[in-house]
Amino acid sequence: MSVALVVILAVILMSACVGIYAGRNLKMNLENWTVGGRRFGIILIWLLMAGEIYTTFTFLGASGWAYSKGATAFYILAYGALAYTLSFFILPVIWRIGKRYGLHTQPDFFIKIYDSRGLGVLVALIGVFSIIPYLQLQLAGLGFIVEVSSDGAISSNVAILIAFVLTCAFVYTSGIKGAAWVAIIKDVLMVAAVVIVGFGVPTIYYGGIGKMMDELITKMPEHLVFPGATTNMDVLWVMSTILVTAMGFYMWPHVFGSAFSAKSDTVLKRNAIIMPFYQIPILLIFFVGFTALLVIPGLANGDLAFLELVKKTYPPWFLGFVGAAGAVTAMVPAAILVLFGATLVAKNIYQSGFRPQASDESVMRLSRIMVIVIMTVSLIFALKFPNELVPLLILGYDGVSQFFPGVVFGLFWKKVTKTGVIAGILTGVAVVAALILSGNDPFLGINAGFVGLVLNAAVTVAVSLATHKGTSPDMES
């Protein structure tokens, strides 16, 4: 057995044990399972939210984009800071409503604010359809990382199966707290790997980051300004993409729902203040992608840039360490995604849609069963179509972004109506789907999700004004 293999297996097994251990003294009801009893202080909230933003896409995608697309990748560095800025203003208000009415999920919030179970079911359905490709991407990315970094000793499919079992186990037993605890391991490993490689490879090949950048500026300056190496992703695309991803980030059902785990609104504000510092590793990941472009140009698949460069530069045990970090980086978001996906189905599709009288115990039981079901569906996709769901993921991201007007108007505009929000969401999702599936993304140089969002907001406002009868949604104060 190779060293890399031992390192990877040891780390993911240890992570699962920590996740299972996290829930040892918790009585598992919906409150503890989905929102951790609303007891998370700033450290656990930070870990949870960092766990959600740093996924395998960050690891492989940010270096891959820097490698193959160039400056366009910078949007990844920028949008996070703006997502946190928005969260500073909206999450504390959402949290207070959640606390007052005992909400667990994003559809719960829509049901409460707009007094409409139908809207809740609609939001839950869009949420679940967006979560599945995201989850599939995590599993496929994990398989890919482990296969490359164990040098083929563990095949992609075996790695995905192992991660599937372990992740199901700790989500099933410990819920959101398990995910937050495993995020500790993930963060330490991921930051260590990124810092070592990010400072390491430019220094080893060029004697420092500055010298590596000099070389790149001399050799291919056009790579470092928009549109980089792309033809259709110019500055307008970057601007619209930053806006739509910043607004969409906290609209992911699992990210939105995590806000309810905080023990106070102040925790969420303070967390928003410190989160932008967590973007620094992304800069280092760019440097790895740029170094790879100079040292190993011409890779057919840019997503391989990070791992191929590590493989060429470092001994096998270190490659195993990077693989382990990558694997846990996929397991944490996968756990949170599946947990909220399962809760959406059990609580907001089954209970809100069909069985309002269902007891909390039966919803909890169904949620646990749905963990296995949703993971299995994503597993099948990941094994059968490892590379074919990327358009669906983009559609998912642009789809959940369409919740933004409904959330913000619901919090701050008295005249918004449920009919307005339903019409807006349906318009936004329809526009986004039509543009993406017909190959028109970007549309006139603008991110399709942004086009959908603008039309969505316009329709929401127009229909709300037309249907408003002087009754307000349930405002906070």
Q: Which residues pair with 446 in a beta bridge?
A: 443
Q: State which of residues 1, 24, 25, 221 lies at the interface with other proteins (CB under 8 A).
A: 221
- Determine which residue in the list 100, 211, 219, 355 makes contact with other proteins, applying CB under 8 A: 211
CB contact burial 452-467 (16+ within 10 A = b; e otherwise): bbbbbbebbbebbeee
40 forms beta bridges with: 262
Residue count (the chain):
477
Taking the mean position of all CA atoms in its chain, how far away is CA 428? 20
Q: Are 250 and 87 in contact (CB under 8 A)?
A: yes
Quote the least distance from Cβ 321 to other proteins, whole Å: 27
Given the complex with other proteins, which of 126 and 246 has the nearer CB atom? 246
CA quadruple 157, 158, 163, 165: dihedral sign: positive
User: Taking the complex as a whole, how short is the minimal distance between the CB of residue 219 and other proteins, in angstroms?
Assistant: 12
DSSP 13-41: HHHHHHHHHHTTT----HHHHHHGGG-B-
Identify which of residues 188 and 273 has a Cβ nearer to other proteins in the complex: 273
Give whichever of 36 and 92 is closer to other proteins, judged by the CB atom.
92
8 A C-beta contact, residue 179 and residue 19:
yes
Per CB under 8 A, 219 contacts other proteins? no
Quote the least distance from Cβ 52 to other proteins, whole Å. 18
Q: Does 412 contact other proteins by CB under 8 A?
A: yes
**Which of 84, 170, 172, 321 is the binder for other proteins (CB under 8 A)?**
84
In the shown chain, the binding pattern of residues 181 to 210 toward other proteins, with x for contact by CB under 8 A and - for none, equals: ----------------------------xx
Binders of other proteins among 113-132, rule CB under 8 A? Answer: none
Rounded to the nearest 10 degrees, the angle between the axes of helix 209-219 and helix 156-206 is 90
Rounded to an integer, what is the distance from CA 461 to the centroid of its chain?
29
Say how far apart CA 260 and CA 100 lie, in whole Å. 11
Helix (H, G, I), strand (E, B) or coil at 207: coil
Shortest reach from residue 359's CB to other proteins, in Å: 33
Encoded amino acid at 276, one letter: P
The stretch among 9-17, 70-78, 105-113, 146-154 that binds other proteins (CB under 8 A) is 70-78
Q: Does 80 bind other proteins (CB under 8 A)?
A: yes
138 versus 240: smaller Cβ distance to other proteins: 240
Q: Do residues 124 and 343 touch, judged by C-beta distance below 8 A?
A: no
Which of residues 272 and 295 has its CB atom nearest to other proteins in the complex? 272
Q: Which residue has the tokens 């549109």?
A: 227
- Rounded distance, CA 360 to CA 109, Å? 17
400 Cβ contact partners less than 8 Å away, ≥ 6 residues apart? 126, 127, 130, 248, 251, 252, 253
477 near other proteins, rule: CB under 8 A: yes
**109: its two tokens:** 């919030």
Q: Does 243 bind other proteins (CB under 8 A)?
A: yes
Helix (H, G, I), strand (E, B) or coil at 443: strand
Give the whole-angstrom CA distance, residue 468 versus residue 99: 28
CB 39 within 8 A of CB 182: no
- Out of 6, 14, 204, 224, the residue judged to bind other proteins by CB under 8 A: 224
Q: Which of 10, 43, 188, 225 binds other proteins (CB under 8 A)?
A: 225
Binder of other proteins out of 48, 139, 272, 309 (CB under 8 A) = 272
- The answer to whether residue 41 forms part of the interface with other proteins (CB under 8 A) is no
- CB nearer other proteins, residue 7 or residue 73: 73
Q: Does 81 bind other proteins (CB under 8 A)?
A: yes
Q: Which is closer to other proteins, CB of 273 or CB of 466? A: 273
Site residues for other proteins, window 275-334 (CB under 8 A)? Answer: 275-277, 279-280, 283, 286
* Nearer of residues 213 and 433 to other proteins, judged by Cβ: 213
Residue type, 65: W
- Residues at the site binding other proteins, with contacts judged by CB under 8 A: 71, 74, 77-78, 80-82, 84-85, 88-89, 92-93, 209-211, 213-214, 217, 221, 224-226, 235, 238-239, 242-243, 265-266, 269-270, 272-277, 279-280, 283, 286, 411-412, 475-477
